[in-house]
Amino acid sequence: MNPHTAPAETVVRLEGITKRFGETLALDDASISVRRGEVVVLLGLSGSGKSTLLRHVDGLERPTDGRVTVLGREVTELTGRALRRLRSEVGFIFQQFELVPSLTVLENVLTGSLATVRGPRLGLWSYGRAAKAEALARLERVGLLDRAYQRADTLSGGQQQRVAIARALMQRPQVLLADEPVASLDPESSDQVMALIREIAADEGLTVICSLHQVDLALSWADRIVGLRHGRVVLDTETEGLSKAQVMEIYGRVATSTDQMAAIELELAGDAVR
Amino acid sequence: MTAVTERPRTTGAAPAPVTAPPRRRVSPERVAAGLTLVALLVASLVALRSVDIDPARMLQSWANAERFFGRVGAIEFPPLGELLQLTALTLGLVICGTLLAAVLSVPVAVLAASNTTPGPGWRAAARFVTVLARAVPDVVLAMVFVLLFSLGTLPGILAIGLHSVGMISKLFADAIEQIDEGPRTAIRAAGGSRLQQFTAGVLPQVLPSWVATVLHRNDINLRGSVILGYVGVVGLGMEMSFAFKSLDYGLGLGYALVIFVLCVVMEIVSSSVRAAMLGIAPTGRGLGDRVVRRATRRRGAGHPAPSRPAITTVESALRRPWDRARRRDVSWGWLAVAVVVASIAVCDIAWSDLVTVWAKVPAVATQFWPPSFGSYEASTMVAAMGETIAIALAATVLTLVASIVVGSLAARNVAPSRGVRSGMRLLLVGIRGVPEVILAIVLIVVTGLGTQAGTLALALGGVGLLGKLLADSFEEVSPGPERALSATGASRVQVYAGATLPQGTRALIGHTFYMLDTNLRAATLLGIVGAGGVGYYLLNASQGSNYGTVTAIVLMILVTVLAVEGLAIWMRRVFR
């Protein structure tokens, strides 16, 4: 929200990430870096590599080639507990919420704290009282305290996403990744959830990388917009001073699938990055 | 039902040119699989002739049956106290065995499921365990354990427990492979370890299906406990075999009737448990569901929805309110604990035997090894095995024909009226309720000893299973094409032939192979009661203490069962 603060340290840096799934090239030499407290919105068609890029930040995918550095640690080098600890410092919000449907809301939130405990957990009784109190406080934060003991699948989509946000907060993250967090919601819940994410990100001073497809939302929230196409970063620009028309034009280019645009795009993207 | 009728599917990533749609190529493998299917069909028809099912002779032997039932006189029952005690013992033994299998199955399933296995080597090993456990009949295991432990419940529990691992771990693994990976990924993304991902992300998703699997297997094991009685496993089955062996037919049939009722009651109970504990709606699949649905409907009307206690502060929320869900969970939990404890108590397991038995193992092992046909000619044994295979094939083809008719009429989307559907479902449940062994025993009386009785028993019993599976598969087909055909004015039969049946074909092939698989295993065992095939020699060898022969027969059965299993796997892969 605040692009004019002094340049902060870089907390997420992707350098020349290439990712192949068999024959498919999901990411093609993609590089971005994000400073602490910055809000970056990823734009692009589905299949452009947004999700794959986000999953690399959390170490859910290993790059075929390239380096991922998050919070000063080389993600590609991490394994075991160290990797789990890093993941716990990075919250992830999914398009499909990804709650365990048959567990209570509270237990779903508690799964956000698994990295801090040893051994398996099943059932509310297996978590400590302090963890429970914290989880309930997170639920209060997202306005769903009264639903704590309901099954997660009895909630509406918007409520489920709020539970997922509470779960991410339970990790006490420094970085928040969100993969199309409102794409599966109706417009009203979408507004509520988006407002909640923005509010929480601002309050907690989170570094945010979020993929979206609402351009005006991206414009009003993001400090920077990154456009992806066919796994390539084709645009990386500060939103400061951009008009909606300009962004629409950019988005149009990002979202166009005709090949003729590629050359122009590269050129303009080069300008935009400055 | 041939190989080539499959929906077209574009393969490869390259976009196909619009002008010339690529002609679907039939791979050599598909051709081979199709030919195999045809060959199997022909073999089944030949087998059908060879087991000489002869309606004329059956009518003739009807006189036998009349004489028999005349001799039986009234069906007798043992004294009530003894009966209750035997029933409790049988139930306890079966439940303990099934539970043992469930516990053993968890690690096997985790290693065998593609999404939880630590590596391909582990996966192969786990699958080998699964296949092997399924392939060794529980009767054979029981023979071995009876020899090791002599008396008590342990032989039965161990035989059921080890054999059931095959099916339970397979279904457990299937359930794991079908989970939504999303929640698990979310837990991984939050930093959860593999074990934590499993307990928090996988287990809650598979638990309902796992419990249903265990309940289902418990029903099967209860039925199977009858035949275990013939080789010396205590309980109702053993008493029944004693009664029949001493030609006390009235008492024998009394036990058979008790077992039949017990099986039906268990099915109702497991259906209620599934409905109540897991929230799986009783959708009217079986007698159990039917009863449960009626009962809950009557009860449901009186209850006003309880208001949720208001939670306003974190402090007040720390205590979970005793709402309906929690009361239900806790009471089911304690009930389950009570059942398990009672089962273990009633079995009166001689735990010390588990320690001392190891001393006997070498001696028993040398009795079973090396395998030999003993006094039998090798050709006799191979012929007997051939007879068993013929029984299985013939029974399968008979079952298939009958099941397509009954199963279709029992499917909601095919049946012409609710009445027909309910009637057919009831028929299927009724057939399933009768343990095949009892069916075989009754049929032996009607048709005389031999392959004919075995074939008919399997064919009839099979309709209960295959008919149900087919009905369920037909109900699960996508309704879109059916609606589309109806909309064009197609008749019921046309909709069935044009939309329902083609969509169900894959399931049909899969289920039929499953049936063949099941029948082959069952055919080996039915011989024990005199229904033809290799089972007769198996029992003889065991009773004559020719354990080398037992091993030889088991090895023959193993090879055959594994061959069919391999064939089934190949078919499923080709017709995917």
What is the secondary structure of B207-244 as a DSSP string?
A: HHHHHHHHHHHHHHHHHHHHHHHHTT--SHHHHHHHHH
Residue B332 shares a structural domain with residue B420:
no
User: Rounded CA gap, A61 and A81, in Å?
Assistant: 17
If one counts the domains in chain B, the total is 2
State whether A111 and B192 contact (CB < 8 Å). Answer: yes
**A217 touches B: beta carbon within 8 Å:** no
Q: Does B284 touch chain A (CB under 8 A)?
A: no
State the DSSP code for B16: P
Query: Do B342 and B482 fall into the same domain?
Result: no
**The residue type at A204:** E
Searching chain A, which residue's CA lies closest to the CA of residue B320? A149
Classify A10-273 by CATH class: alpha beta
Query: Between A124, A145, A167, which is nearest B190 by CB?
Result: A167
The residue-averaged pLDDT of A33-41 equals: 93
Residues B102 and B219 in one domain: yes
- In chain B, the N- to C-terminal Cα span, in Å, equals 14
Residues B431 and B348 in one domain: no
Beta carbons of A114 and B308 less than 8 Å apart = no
Which of B340, B359, B378 represents a domain boundary (last residue)? B359
Cβ pair B276, B105 in contact under 8 A: no
B286/B298 Cα distance (integer angstroms): 19
Tens of pLDDT, residue by residue, chain B (576 residues): 344 444 444 444 555 455 666 666 678 888 888 888 888 889 888 888 887 776 676 667 667 667 766 766 677 888 999 999 999 999 999 999 999 999 999 999 999 999 999 999 999 999 999 988 988 888 889 988 988 887 789 999 999 999 999 999 999 999 999 899 999 999 999 999 999 999 999 999 998 889 988 998 998 899 888 888 888 899 999 998 898 888 887 888 889 889 888 988 888 888 777 776 655 544 544 555 556 556 655 444 444 444 455 677 888 888 888 888 788 888 888 999 999 999 999 998 888 888 888 888 888 888 888 888 877 888 888 888 888 999 999 999 999 999 999 999 988 888 888 889 888 888 887 887 777 777 777 777 666 677 888 888 889 889 988 998 898 888 888 888 888 988 888 888 888 888 888 888 888 888 888 889 888 888 888 888 777 788 888 888 888 888 888 889 889 988 988 888 888 888 878 876
Instruction: Assess A71–B contact: CB distance below 8 Å, yes or no.
Output: no
Q: Which letter does DSSP use for residue A38 in this model?
A: -
Distance in angstroms (rounded) separating the CA atoms of residues A140 and A115: 22
Residue A163 burial (CB count, 10 A): 24
B340 and B477 part of one domain: no
User: Angle at Cα B215 formed by Cα B210 and Cα B424, nearest 5°?
Assistant: 115
Q: What Cα–Cα distance (Å) separates residue A211 from each residue in A54, A93, A235, A269, B237?
A: 8, 10, 14, 18, 65
B183 → chain A, closest CA residue: A98
Locate B389 and state its tokens.
Answer: 């295979």
Strands annotated E in chain A: 10-21, 24-35, 39-43, 65-70, 73-74, 90-93, 175-179, 207-211, 224-229, 232-238
On whether both B484 and B537 belong to a single domain, the answer is yes
Its domain, for residue B465, covers: 399-574
Q: In this structure, are B411 and B487 located in the same domain?
A: yes
Do residues B159 and B236 share a domain? yes
The least confident of A82-86, A113-117, B338-342, B531-535 is B531-535
For residues B355 and B406, state if they share a domain: no
Same domain, B513 and B460: yes
Give burial (CB, 10 Å; 0-12/13-18/19+) of A261: middle
CATH code for position B103: 1.10.3720.10
**Mind telling me how many Å the CA of A9 is from chain B's nearest CA?**
24
Q: Please report, for residues B3, B11, B501, the alpha-carbon distance to residue B26 in angstroms, rounded to integers and kept in the order given.
A: 9, 13, 22
A84 to chain B: which residues are within 8 Å by CB?
A: 191-193
Contact with chain B for residue A103, Cβ under 8 A = yes
Note whether B185 and A109 are within 8 A (CB). Answer: no
B560 within some domain: yes
Nearest Cβ partner for B190 among A103, A119, A171: A171
Q: A60–B198: do the CB atoms touch at under 8 Å?
A: no
Same domain? B291 vs B405 = no
3-state secondary structure B443-498: HHHHHCCCHHHHHHHHHHHHHHHHHHHHHHHHHHCCHHHHHHHHHCCCCHHHHHHH
> What pTM did the predictor assign?
0.81
Chain A residue numbers with beta carbons less than 8 Å from the beta carbon of B187 are: 111, 114
Residue ranges per domain, chain A? 10-273
User: How far apart (Å, rounded) are the C-alpha atoms in residues A192 and B334?
Assistant: 42
Q: Mind telling me how many Å the CA of A242 is from chain B's nearest CA?
A: 34
Q: Are B342 and B489 in the same domain?
A: no
ipTM topping 0.90: no
